[in-house]
Amino acid sequence: MEELLSHRSRLYKGSLEPLQEYYVPSRLLHREAEIARVLVVLRSALTGEVPSHLLVYGKIGTGKTAVITQVQKEISRRVVPENPVTFLSVNCANVDTNYALLQTLGNQLVETLPGQEPIPTGWSQDRVYRSLCTLADERGGILLFVLDEIDKLVHNAGGDVLYSLAQMNRDLKKARSAIVGISNDLKFTEGLDARVRSRLSQESIIFPPYNQGQLRDILRERAREVFQEEALDPDVLDRCAFYASQESGDARRALALLRLAAQITDRAGGRQIRAEHVVLAKNTLELDIIVECVKTLSAHCKLLLWVTISGYERRRSGVTMGEAYKSYESVCHQLGIAPLVARTLAEYVSELETLGLVHAEIYSGGRRGRTRLITSAVPSHETLRALEEDPLLKPLSQQRTSGQTSLFRFDGQDPPAPRGFISPRPPPAGETA
Ligand SMILES: Nc1ncnc2c1ncn2[C@@H]1O[C@H](COP(=O)(O)OP(=O)(O)OP(=O)(O)O)[C@@H](O)[C@H]1O
Ligand SMILES: [Mg+2]
């Protein structure tokens, strides 16, 4: 126990904080141009002029939130008392309704105004909006509503409130406001009323994904602060950057890989993080994503995935749609639930394919005619375990571990691949470097 508790890592020289996701470094590498563009749009606030509404787009982990946070700091530092500028920031992933967004903005304003009471829940949405306007006028100056993950608001709540917020200046007497929206989804405005869409898109900036070299620079900067001189094999940062750039140029992913590779090395008592630790970290992260994804599936989709993977474990060339359906029916029967019709199940196969959990290739030829041949795209053992965590599927785990396989009665030998394949088999997941 003493030994475990007094463990001192040989890798780190100081705090691990710079590797954490929430840490925002003072310098954002390779985002100088984007920072400048955002500043050009918003700087008029410092002289009391209301800026245009701004939409910032980019894939995940491309530094959108970090850049806007930094710009917010830079502008806030330069505010003069004659021209107050107030940033009100909300992550829309945390507000389920238009009402909640208005109330959250209002309550942030309340905190800046002495003697004001929070907006109670129970008022009508219109009243909350009017109260927000009154509070804004009391505060005065320029208000910037930073709506991070604004696409989530539109998807979850329809975004009606954006209509009011985008033209709030009509209802304000002293203050002026503008929206800074941040989104992963370039198309989120498509569902909005044309007038709101054109107002919101007065200015828009798209952040490109980071490339491998840029990600390596970002990692190097952090690594310098965290690790001992000899703790990193020269290959490690490049590996993390390579994997993250292959996916979506996501800096968060690159940092997570480095952090996890360091943890894996440290737990094994190692003195140096090497490429193999990065590979282990990559596999672990991918598995985490699969497990999370599996948990969100509907019960019948889980059953279908379970029979597909179990079938795939028995026959690596995959199972046909007919075989999958028969096994699924059998499993439903065994669990005492009514099976869905084959057509619905075929739709579920497409859903599992879209999620990247299975491959479903069209196979034509032999006596099966034209069918889809389903193979697993995920690590079988771990995915089956994740599926069996669902109480409905729990009985299947005993059956699997006891080796009972009567569920799978394949009606033929392995299909003679690959002559009949129409679509090419995707490359196997896993190590590519
Ligand atoms: N240019 C950069 N320099 C240093 N660190 C960066 C840079 N860009 C992003 N990061 C770091 O990467 C992580 C992800 O960045 P951020 O949260 O800003 O991405 P995002 O584009 O907002 O992603 P999402 O769409 O998922 O919200 C953060 O920890 C951030 O500090
Ligand atoms: Mg973000």
The three-state DSSP-derived secondary structure of 66-121 is HHHHHHHHHHHHCCCCCCCEEEEEEEHHHCCCHHHHHHHHHHHHHHHCCCCCCCCE
Residue 103, CA distances (Å) to 110, 118, 129, 147, 276 in order? 10, 9, 8, 14, 49
Report whether residue 251 contacts ligand 1, using a CB cutoff of 6 Å: yes
| pTM across the whole model | 0.79
- Taking the alpha carbons at both ends of the chain, their separation in whole angstroms is 40
**Residue from 65, 147, 250 to probe ligand 1 pocket by mutation (most atoms less than 8 Å from CB):** 65
Q: Does residue 339 lie in a domain region? A: yes
Measured in residues, the chain has a length of 433
For position 231, which CATH number holds?
A: 1.10.8.60
- How far apart are the CA of 205 and the centre of ligand 2, in A? 14
Residues 288 and 232 in one domain: yes
Q: Are residues 100 and 125 in the same domain?
A: yes
Nearest CA among 129, 79, 66 for reference residue 99: 129
Q: Are 267 and 130 part of one and the same domain?
A: no
Residue 131's closest CA among 95, 97, 102, 96?
102
Neighbours of ion ligand 2 (CB under 5 A): 65
Residue type, 393: L
Are β-strands 319-320 and 203-207 bridged in parallel, bridged antiparallel, or unpaired? unpaired
Domain span at residue 354? 297-401
209 lines ligand 1 (CB under 6 A): no
Distance CA 144, CA 303 (A): 48
Q: Is position 396 within any domain?
A: yes
Q: How far is the CA of 24 from the centre of ligand 1 (A)?
A: 8
| Triad 86, 92, 97: Cα angle to 5° | 110
For the stretch 147-203, pLDDT in tens is 999 999 998 888 889 999 999 999 999 999 999 999 999 999 988 888 889 889 889
Same domain as 41, residue 171: yes
Nearest to 319 by CA among 338, 306, 335, 337: 306
Q: Domain check: are 203 and 214 in the same one?
A: no
Q: Is 197 in the pocket of ligand 1 (CB under 6 A)?
A: no
Phi-psi region of 356 (alpha: psi -120 to 50; beta: other; left: phi over 0): left
- Give the atom of ligand 1 at the shortest distance from the alpha carbon of 66: 18
Whether residue 319 sits in one domain with residue 393: yes
DSSP three-state, residue 30:
coil
Residue pair 305/358 in contact by the 8 Å Cβ criterion: yes
Q: Cα 252 vs. chain centroid, distance in angstroms?
A: 10
How far apart, in whole angstroms, are the C-alpha atoms of residue 415 and residue 361?
12
Which listed ligand is nearest to 89 at the C-alpha?
Answer: 2
- Which of 150, 182, 207 corresponds to the end of one domain? 207
- Walk along the chain (433 residues) and give the pLDDT tens digit of each residue: 666 555 667 788 878 889 888 888 989 999 999 999 999 999 999 999 999 999 999 999 999 999 999 999 999 999 999 999 999 999 999 998 999 999 999 999 999 999 899 999 899 999 999 999 999 999 999 999 999 999 999 988 888 899 999 999 999 999 999 999 999 999 999 888 888 898 898 899 999 999 999 999 999 999 999 999 889 998 999 999 999 999 889 999 999 999 999 999 998 888 899 999 999 999 999 999 999 999 999 999 999 999 999 999 888 888 999 999 999 999 999 999 999 999 999 999 999 998 989 998 887 766 656 788 899 999 889 899 999 999 999 999 887 776 655 555 555 444 433 333 333 333 333 433 3
**Distance (Å) of CA 260 to CA 141, 194, 399:** 45, 45, 35
* 376 inside domain: yes
Q: Measured at the alpha carbon of residue 148, what is the angle toward residues 79 and 286, in degrees to the nearest 5?
A: 135
Asked if residue 79 has its Cβ within 6 Å of ligand 1, the reply is no
Same domain, 123 and 202: yes
Q: Is 253 in the pocket of ligand 1 (CB under 6 A)?
A: no
Spatial strand order in the sheet of 176-183: 85-91, 142-148, 176-183, 54-58, 203-207
- Measure 188 CA to ligand 1 centroid, in angstroms: 21
Task: Check if 62 has its Cβ closer than 6 Å to any atom of ligand 1.
Answer: yes
Residue 122 lies in a domain: yes
Report residue 294 as tokens.
């599996």
Which of 293, 309, 337 is the last residue in one of the domains? 293
28 CB near ligand 1 (under 6 Å): yes
229 falls within a domain: yes
